[in-house]
Structure 1
Amino acid sequence: MTPNLAEFSVQLIYMRIAVFIKSTTFHVGFGGLETQNLVLCEGLVKAGNDVTIFSPQKELKIENSNLNGVKYVFVNCVNRTLFSSLNSESWLNKSYKSFLELHKVQPFDIVLSQSSAGIGVIKRKKDVGVKVVSVSHGSILSEFKTRISDASSVSDWVNIIKDLVFVLTIFFGRQRDFILNSNRVIAVSEFVKKVIIDETYVPKEWVEVIYNGINPLLFSSEYVKRENDFVNILYVGRVIKSKGIDIILESLSKMKNMDFFLNIVGEGNFTKNAKKLASKFGISQKVKFHGRLGLQEIIKLLYKNDIFVMPTRRVEGFPMTLVEAMFSGIPIIATKIGGVPEAVFDGETGFLIDNPNVSDFTAKLNTLINDKGQREVFGRNALNKAQNIFSAGKMVEKYVSVFKEVLNENS
């Protein structure tokens, strides 16, 4: 997954970097955040830096590891947020202790905190004389609003009420702590930048937008012309109602006489309901639920499909599945919400719908199903955009540039 050094244009300098994240690709059930952190850290190592990742041990039986030049420290700790500063076994305190042990032997130049994972060091950064750059992937308030709008049962509301104290603690405490006490904040999209400025009042000049990147070498550098007997449609992500799975199925039910096939990749609590809907709409024979797949399997599937869909109701920070689709040269239909419009260029690489509803989505999907030429134009444009904007090399280059700026600042 390591990016090609030929992509870098800035002058790279050696740095010793400590990265804090709550989970890694070693852990069970890892997702996009963990994968992106891996790509970033391996890219930083490839660029000549020394990188150590600190993460909770959780179910792992090992305390240390080294993979592709990236060093890992798995901290045996208690993963609680409330009153964590008072608990000597908490992630906040144990992660700082583990960091300090290595920092005293050979000082780190800079700390990178994925969201609030580095809060233990952030709170004490002046004491240890280290600067911190944090990455914001979104807002817990936006996530909570989505849960409220998506609630459909008594149990949903019970869980929402139970989690309210935790959400408020994060919103008024942890989120503001890590953002306002970092030397610089990286937002994964312009949308996320606006949200955290509005919610924390962090000065806008402290926030830099860097899009997550993908290693282009995982994909073909040329547009692959698809020759399918059916128009294959793909969804990749969590199978939950707020992702718009019901919209996809109902829309396709209105086109059941067309030659299409829907592939759904992912797991979630809406899977059983989605299968029932497919049966109810009479399209079960045209839908396959693949479950959870690895990145390489997803890439292979992307090249077999003609249209990528994501009519999400959720406020998404920056969905990497859209970038993966772009690198495979596939047009996208998605909702104009959150950071999605920063990855889908309406009328150029696909279509954006203003509202996640069946009628608007059906109209755009019908257009692409019936127009192969348009699909190919959008697909070529998507690949070009991805290569120019969303490569891992460009991502690493921009992180290095931010690190250099922060290290050169006096405060």
Structure 2
Amino acid sequence: MRVLYVITRSDVIGGASVHLLDLANGVQEAGHEVAIVVGGHGIFIEKARERGLRCISAIHLVRPLSVINDFRFYLEFRRIVLEWKPNLIHAHSSKAGIVGRLVAKTLSIPCVFTAHGWAFTEGVATSRRILYRCIERLVANFTDKIITVSDYDRSLALRSGVGAADLIVTIHNGMPSVTEEDSVTGSSKVTRLIMVARFEAPKDHVFLVRALASLPRSDWAMDFVGDGPTMPEVKNLVSELGLEDKFFFAGACSDVSERLSKSDVFCLISNWEGLPLTVLEAMRTGLPVIASRVGGVPEAVAQQETGILVDKHDHDGLVSALSTLIGSRDLRSKMGVMGKSRFLSDFTFELMLQRTISVYSDVTKV
């Protein structure tokens, strides 16, 4: 089988990018031929080629809506498809998903679309939500199967009139296994918290900083891993609060697994989500999770068992969750063990890959 993937951005490595790189690599190792079309010439292409994946840069695939550029990309992608002759197109991200499905429909090629959190989900600006809901209703008819990464997103699509029930299937994200890192728990009196996320919407680093600043205790330190446009704002807030000795900004890192293994609690504060890979990565490491109760997060984090879920914008609830886990090493250990067990049973890469290839076989009859 020849599978052509398409995703919008190459300038960042986010959850959808990591998911696609892992998936394409797994499908290739399973004996299929794959290629990836991506906008621009960014870091994504470098990461793909490191894995031996063929990557094609699309000149006109850009994130902002643009009638001219989008039409040019339609023609560009159509030419690539005609040259490469795939048995299946698998589109990821909103822009690539829209144009990719249009091209697939006009060329009568089976097409799968993965929604890594809908662009019309709760928390997104109203005008954008209305626009993308209308678009997704239309292009759903050009799709042979829609994969949502959470039951939350599947239900949202059905409530919004995006596709019929038999068109949409949930395949939870999965993470590949890694070499075990030695966890550094020692006898330190300082609880190390970590958040691995880009500094941009939907992540809410500012809300987390303000909650930590309100803690009645000081036996903690916070590591922020990632970069992005809102980082200066967060650094300025930390400085204004006089907490430069409590917060550490590592930037984009290639040693995330090692950093997680040296941490005690994982945090992910967001205004909306699909099913974030970083939560699964933390569970894989054996860390308890404090996260916003948004999107598919509750499908991964079992409340009061593998972590603590906090309602969006609930300042007092977040302060309480932080204080609880910082104050109890035994509870952190118990939740971490249960989280790792849950990861191994429900969120492994092998399980996700098997289910995805099964979808490919169903829509292509190959």
Task: Give the TM-score band, short-chain normalised.
Answer: 0.7 to 0.9
Distance 1:380 1:239, change over 3 A: same
Match of 1:308 in 2: 266
Q: Residue 111 of structure 2: which of 119, 132, 146 is its match?
A: 132
Match of 2:235 in 1: 275
Question: How far apart, CA to CA, are the structure 2 residues paired with 1:253 and 1:36?
Answer: 34
Contact 1:223 1:379 in 2 (8 A): no
Q: Residue 354 of structure 1: which of 311, 317, 320 is its match?
A: 311
Match of 1:113 in 2: 91
How far the C-alpha of 1:118 sits from its partner, in A, is 5.0
Match of 1:248 in 2: 208
Does the residue aligned with 1:130 lie in a helix, a strand or coil? Answer: coil
Question: How far apart, CA to CA, are the structure 1 residues paired with 2:74 and 2:219?
Answer: 54
How far the C-alpha of 1:85 sits from its partner, in A, is 9.1
Match of 1:96 in 2: 78
Distance 1:360 1:329, change over 3 A: same
- Residue by residue over 1:23-61, the C-alpha shift from the partner in whole angstroms, topping out at 9 and shown as x without a partner, is 3xxx3333221121010000001111111212234569x
Matched, 1:232 2:185: no
Matched, 1:73 2:56: yes
Match of 1:380 in 2: 337
Distance 1:256 1:96, change over 3 A: same
Match of 2:251 in 1: 291
Distance 1:270 1:84, change over 3 A: closer
Does the residue aligned with 2:8 lie in a helix, a strand or coil? Answer: coil
Match of 1:262 in 2: 222
Q: Any unmatched runs of 5+ in structure 1? A: 1-14, 149-163
How far the C-alpha of 1:256 sits from its partner, in A, is 5.6
Q: Residue 164 of structure 2: which of 196, 203, 225 is its match?
A: 203
Higher mean C-alpha displacement, 118-127 vs 384-393: 118-127
Question: How far apart, CA to CA, are the structure 1 residues paired with 2:173 and 2:299?
Answer: 12
Between structure 1 and structure 2, the one with the greater Rg is 1
Q: Residue 134 of structure 2: which of 172, 186, 197 is its match?
A: 172
Does the residue aligned with 2:56 lie in a helix, a strand or coil? Answer: strand
Q: What TM-score does the superposition give when structure 1 sets the normalisation length?
A: 0.79
Q: What TM-score does the superposition give when structure 2 sets the normalisation length?
A: 0.88
Match of 2:363 in 1: 406
Match of 1:12 in 2: none
Contact 1:247 1:357 in 2 (8 A): no
Question: How far apart, CA to CA, are the structure 1 residues paired with 2:233 and 2:51?
Answer: 41
Distance 1:228 1:205, change over 3 A: farther
Contact 1:45 1:51 in 2 (8 A): yes
Match of 1:52 in 2: 35
Contact 1:52 1:70 in 2 (8 A): yes
Does the residue aligned with 1:367 lie in a helix, a strand or coil? Answer: helix
How far the C-alpha of 1:109 sits from its partner, in A, is 2.0
Contact 2:6 2:100 in 1 (8 A): no
Contact 1:16 1:109 in 2 (8 A): yes
Question: How far apart, CA to CA, are the structure 2 residues paired with 1:263 and 1:362?
Answer: 17
Question: How far apart, CA to CA, are the structure 2 residues paired with 1:68 and 1:274?
Answer: 34
Does the residue aligned with 1:309 lie in a helix, a strand or coil? Answer: strand
Question: How far apart, CA to CA, are the structure 2 residues paired with 1:269 and 1:85?
Answer: 24
Q: Which residue type is aligned with residue 167 of structure 2?
A: W
Q: Residue 16 of structure 2: which of 21, 24, 33 is its match?
A: 33
Q: Residue 343 of structure 1: which of 300, 304, 322 is its match?
A: 300
Contact 1:18 1:53 in 2 (8 A): yes
How far the C-alpha of 1:112 sits from its partner, in A, is 0.8
- Residue by residue over 1:79-108, the C-alpha shift from the partner in whole angstroms, topping out at 9 and shown as x without a partner, is 474435994xx11111111111221xxxx2
Q: How many residues align?
A: 360
Question: How far apart, CA to CA, are the structure 1 residues paired with 2:75 and 2:265?
Answer: 47
Does the residue aligned with 1:293 lie in a helix, a strand or coil? Answer: coil
Match of 1:142 in 2: 121
How far the C-alpha of 1:184 sits from its partner, in A, is 0.6
Question: How far apart, CA to CA, are the structure 1 residues paired with 2:98 and 2:21?
Answer: 20
How far the C-alpha of 1:212 sits from its partner, in A, is 1.8
Match of 1:159 in 2: none
Contact 2:184 2:262 in 1 (8 A): no
- Residue by residue over 1:192-214, the C-alpha shift from the partner in whole angstroms, topping out at 9 and shown as x without a partner, is 11122222341111111112221
Contact 1:260 1:286 in 2 (8 A): yes
- Aligned-pair identity in percent equals 24
Question: How far apart, CA to CA, are the structure 1 residues paired with 2:360 and 2:243?
Answer: 52
Does the residue aligned with 1:185 lie in a helix, a strand or coil? Answer: strand
Question: How far apart, CA to CA, are the structure 2 residues paired with 1:249 and 1:56?
Answer: 34
How far the C-alpha of 1:340 sits from its partner, in A, is 1.3
